[in-house]
Structure 1
């Protein structure tokens, strides 16, 4: 009898042995501290051919102690993992369960208390082999005081368990359920979510900058408060969400969150954020960009729905890419690119005396210069965006240094067209400039001039807009860094299409008249066109640095031109050298003159009411809703002295008799914003509509409270139709 009992006991112990091994295999030892106990557990006892396994970092915290979420908030830091020394695994990634908010002394932090398991997905290098895990964890645990702590874990997970034939369930450990319980609390991502952030924008309420968030799909029967967490690249604080508006029928609710830490002039508008919404047991996570105003209408241009993913995103990217290509090509025919015609014409005429291969190389070099310029613009915009600055198409024309350099370059091109100077000889210091402007490149051997010609064409093209250009640029600047590079590359290719066409078929260049004496006359005319461009640039510069500073730049360049003319006329080498040195000093004086000028203080009211035939009011976006509520129709026009397309719209459309008569009605309010100089209010307003360049025109009215956006190049019928649509088709009330 005793023998039978011993045999039975032995068999029972043998049967329990795998269970003991399983428990030991799937969990490390506890690391105990006064404030917490931590261990590493596994959802699997064996790899069982899997290419990924799920672990869990389990914290058993003492009362009143907490650890932190991935974005700790105003203080703290999350657990940090170091997998050095592990074998057959990659670096694991924590899947963060929805956290709790902790508010104390005005500080907002996010984390976990009591008991939590952080699920960790770990890739397996070779599913046929076992894994040896060595994990070092640095974490911060806080109560009345904060204590940094460290724990070290080792865990060996075999490739398989002997005798296990349970198929898909093979190797599942007894900790799997506990880990999955916390994994179910990880915020959902993707499409068709039960909740969604449909709108997010910044506003000022009672002199306080706040973030407004609209969430749909909320269960109105739940008593749990809704939590909203905001994460972004900029270190700012966001307060507790306060409900402001509720629509029980659709489960839509609007919340207001105070923004803390904003510096003077700083804004969150245009920033990409991760928005986490927690409503009871349900949590979602979505990527959103903060707008300047609430959307809710397809006319606003602001994104209010979940960003497209998968095939939809790819289709949108290629569609916008096609628009960018077309917009870049059309840019060749815009007014501000016409001054570059002189460079194009001279290149084409020179090509006739060259071999086919030399012609091809020259025009390919010009195309490369254009595309390279667009890449440089894209990189500069990315850098400004990452630094939190304002980005947009053509905004470099708001910078006095850029305008001064462009004026000098254009003036030098004009002087060269007039034959006042030519720099020859590879040993001369100005050889690089000669590559750009000399008319004596032989057989395409000097490609630097063609390349710089393309770059110069791009710089002069940027104050212009074109159909499809604004859409493409807006998409790029509102998107990722890849979007910016991708769209600006296609814009460059579009602008370079004429050069690429001649490079592909050089015989096109030979259709022009053969070179002769007439070229001297053409060069003189083109020089006058370039001089006109320089005068226009000086007029824009005068807005930035004052009329005195612009006149100083212009006078210095005129003196430099006179000295170059004197150098051209003299035959004495000493005088040539002296005139060259003095002309160089004149150019340098023009370059540094803006530094001694003071920007004028503009009387906005006086400026706006005296800009033309129409009674424009100063730009005040906060007043638009009030005017519309009073039954008025508001036309908003954002313009700038450097925006050639804006001036074309004014002369050919807005100031024509037909449109002026319509805009003079009593129920029409004309509101104009001047972006010639940097203005954060205008930048934020444009960003709210997905626009990052001008011209910008929109019509608001009783039947179009969200606004009707007009195209970059206006048409009379388009303006009249928008006015009629905004007023509901009613007749305009005349004076």
Structure 2
């Protein structure tokens, strides 16, 4: 592939004004050391001395001085190009070692990435005389070939040479100037006390050097088609060392046994490294966050309170509120105990979740908020439990001491059990949702020590429990609600509707988890769920007929509701929104190299907040118009199924769950702009104005 790209560039050059020079390359130089002037560069041979002793050495070098923004290549040229070559004709007893290559530089060329040198470069060459070399004057003849590139590439040739005297006892001369500088920039083996390891994952290589630290690092492999040359290489600070994450080449389908290349820590420090490649996935080290522990705890607590208003949790809290209305005559101490037991149920549930997350982290895996909903078994059990519980609310049967203790005797022991498991249920149904402030807090927590992680999740749990706990300690606050009466039975039936909707939504998630598509938007699953929504609305029509039988008003209302129900599966509006590409590191890197702004939607079928944001905001005409206007590359990172690449990208921006929305400005060096979890049109439009239309 790389050679095809090089041939393409050369063919392109043939169509440009420089074609006469390409068709018949002019050889510059007269066989002397030079300098010889060619197109866009000057080339010459230099040496540390003009004499050499039998059995001795002298340091020479091939030196290029290049026009501004033109470059020649390293020994692995990258996506295109060829390194300079020198062919010697030497007298008997004289040998020349291969050219040495100093520390290279990454040179972007459109969507490609070359490895090479700009301005000037010297390639050191060691000349050796045999012990029996005859004294006298000798001439070293050199034919040099190169490719010099900018937007176009131009091949060149030179005929150069060096004159030396073989003098017995000649003292070796120390290199100076360009030659000395070039020798100091030749990559050396890592110093003693350091350790170099390589882990190969599905999408990247992770190179770790312990014993040396650096803020910047780059890797240049000696072999071609091993890494994605144009992709950004991410530096991660690790204790006592540096870690570099290098994306694999798309054509590299099998991990190599070893990886050999140059690890560059700075323009003047680089090491020639080689190590066996150990298969495995290395969790991303999150970028250092400006969030403090206390701030994260505060954000988590507030996020937990707001989480009660999310559509996942609010029905459960609402039913607990009804229970308090019914039980307002109970002793205050008993109500408080129920509030505390409910809080304990939430705390225990959160502690179990964080324990699992930490166990996965210690085993080298990554997971985030809502990870359990990536399991079809868990989704099936949750959907079935909610559906069965909702049948009771709908009046099919009386569950008695239900999970929410509606209609139960709070003074009895089973009522405490109900309160505890209501807290568990509140936690379980909360996991598909992410409230504002939660994302930053959870992302921070999962990158910290075990104690900090538990503290942040505990604050989140206490925030979730606070509204009901406050009502249980101050039941007088429930007086703002109407007094208990028959209306509560009707309201209980109506409350069943959103919970039946939750069961349908979980069935939709279940379909995606088994679809094998790995992406949101499987038509068969979507159409089946439309029919289920039709059934639910028809059930509402039937409830209206049963609630007010033999009345013409209820009959008309039922007919209208039934017509709406049938329209859900039968009416399929044409989707005119922009197409989202599946997220991959390669697609992100390619868009950024090409100078396109990128909007990434980290989503999942089981994330209810994600679906709301998508339908109300991201698919709105105003936002779609700005996407088109800014030529924004739209990437959908679907986390319905576990994906280590998406998990790693989330961790790199200090997030561990969905929804997460990120804008990368057009500049390839710009940092990611992370948007809030709950979107409004104005939030997105303002972010696009700042990042895409500054």
Give TM-score, length-normalised by structure 1: 0.52
Matches within 5 A, 1:416-495: 416-422=392-398, 434=402, 439-443=407-411, 445=413, 446-495=415-464
Q: Which residue of 2 aligns with 1:269?
A: 283
Q: Which residue of 1 aligns with 2:683?
A: 718
Change (3 A) 1:376 1:653: same
Can you list the C-alpha shifts for 1:629-660, whole angstroms capped at 9, x where unaligned? 33322211121111111122212321222111
After the TM superposition, which of the residue ranges 206-215 and 500-509 deviates more from structure 2? Answer: 206-215
Work out whether 1:618 is the aligned partner of 2:587.
Answer: no
Once residues 442 and 506 of structure 1 are traced to their aligned partners in structure 2, the CA distance between those partners, rounded to angstroms, is: 14
Structure 1 residue matching 2:683: 3-state secondary structure = helix
Once residues 342 and 323 of structure 2 are traced to their aligned partners in structure 1, the CA distance between those partners, rounded to angstroms, is: 9
- Does the 8 Å contact 1:628/1:634 carry over to 2? yes
Post-superposition offset of 1:393: 0.6
Work out whether 1:658 is the aligned partner of 2:622.
Answer: yes
Once residues 297 and 642 of structure 2 are traced to their aligned partners in structure 1, the CA distance between those partners, rounded to angstroms, is: 29
Q: 1:692 aligns with which of 645, 656, 660?
A: 656
Structure 2 residue matching 1:380: 3-state secondary structure = helix
Q: Which residue of 1 aligns with 2:327?
A: 351
Change (3 A) 1:240 1:533: closer
Can you list the C-alpha shifts for 1:418-469, whole angstroms capped at 9, x where unaligned? 2333356xxxxxxxx7465552224364211111111101111111112210
Work out whether 1:676 is the aligned partner of 2:636.
Answer: no
Q: Which residue of 1 aligns with 2:25?
A: none
* Aligned-CA RMSD value: 4.3
Q: 2:343 aligns with which of 363, 367, 373?
A: 367
Q: Which residue of 2 aligns with 1:504?
A: 473
- Does the 8 Å contact 1:374/1:458 carry over to 2? yes
Work out whether 1:407 is the aligned partner of 2:383.
Answer: yes
- Does the 8 Å contact 1:215/1:252 carry over to 2? no
Change (3 A) 1:391 1:633: same
Structure 2 residue matching 1:508: 3-state secondary structure = helix
Once residues 607 and 236 of structure 2 are traced to their aligned partners in structure 1, the CA distance between those partners, rounded to angstroms, is: 39
Can you list the C-alpha shifts for 1:598-649, whole angstroms capped at 9, x where unaligned? xxxxxxxxxxxx9872221222322333323333222111211111111222
Unaligned runs of 5+ in 1: 1-97, 109-186, 189-194, 217-225, 231-236, 271-288, 292-301, 309-314, 425-432, 563-609, 730-735
Q: Which residue of 1 aligns with 2:483?
A: 514
Structure 2 residue matching 1:439: 3-state secondary structure = coil
Work out whether 1:391 is the aligned partner of 2:355.
Answer: no
Q: Which residue of 1 aligns with 2:49?
A: none
Change (3 A) 1:629 1:415: same
Q: 1:325 aligns with which of 301, 313, 332?
A: 301
Once residues 511 and 616 of structure 1 are traced to their aligned partners in structure 2, the CA distance between those partners, rounded to angstroms, is: 47
Can you list the C-alpha shifts for 1:669-728, whole angstroms capped at 9, x where unaligned? 211122112222212221222211011211123346332222212233332333233345
Structure 1 residue matching 2:662: 3-state secondary structure = strand
Post-superposition offset of 1:529: 2.1
Matches within 5 A, 1:149-168: none
Change (3 A) 1:213 1:359: closer
Can you list the C-alpha shifts for 1:51-71, whole angstroms capped at 9, x where unaligned? xxxxxxxxxxxxxxxxxxxxx
Q: Which residue of 2 aligns with 1:198?
A: 215
Once residues 472 and 405 of structure 2 are traced to their aligned partners in structure 1, the CA distance between those partners, rounded to angstroms, is: 20
- Does the 8 Å contact 1:240/1:257 carry over to 2? yes
Matches within 5 A, 1:289-304: 289=285, 302-303=287-288
Once residues 578 and 298 of structure 2 are traced to their aligned partners in structure 1, the CA distance between those partners, rounded to angstroms, is: 37
Change (3 A) 1:447 1:378: same
Q: Which residue of 2 aligns with 1:523?
A: 492
Structure 2 residue matching 1:333: 3-state secondary structure = coil
Post-superposition offset of 1:392: 0.3
Matches within 5 A, 1:103-182: none
Q: 1:646 aligns with which of 610, 628, 638?
A: 610
- Does the 8 Å contact 1:352/1:510 carry over to 2? no
- Does the 8 Å contact 1:633/1:723 carry over to 2? no
Post-superposition offset of 1:525: 0.6
Once residues 418 and 341 of structure 1 are traced to their aligned partners in structure 2, the CA distance between those partners, rounded to angstroms, is: 18
Structure 2 residue matching 1:500: 3-state secondary structure = helix
Work out whether 1:334 is the aligned partner of 2:310.
Answer: yes
Structure 2 residue matching 1:496: 3-state secondary structure = helix
Post-superposition offset of 1:514: 1.9
- Does the 8 Å contact 2:259/2:277 carry over to 1? no
Change (3 A) 1:721 1:520: closer
- Does the 8 Å contact 2:581/2:636 carry over to 1? yes
- Does the 8 Å contact 1:625/1:705 carry over to 2? no
Q: Which residue of 1 aligns with 2:251?
A: none
Change (3 A) 1:706 1:495: same
Once residues 658 and 322 of structure 2 are traced to their aligned partners in structure 1, the CA distance between those partners, rounded to angstroms, is: 31
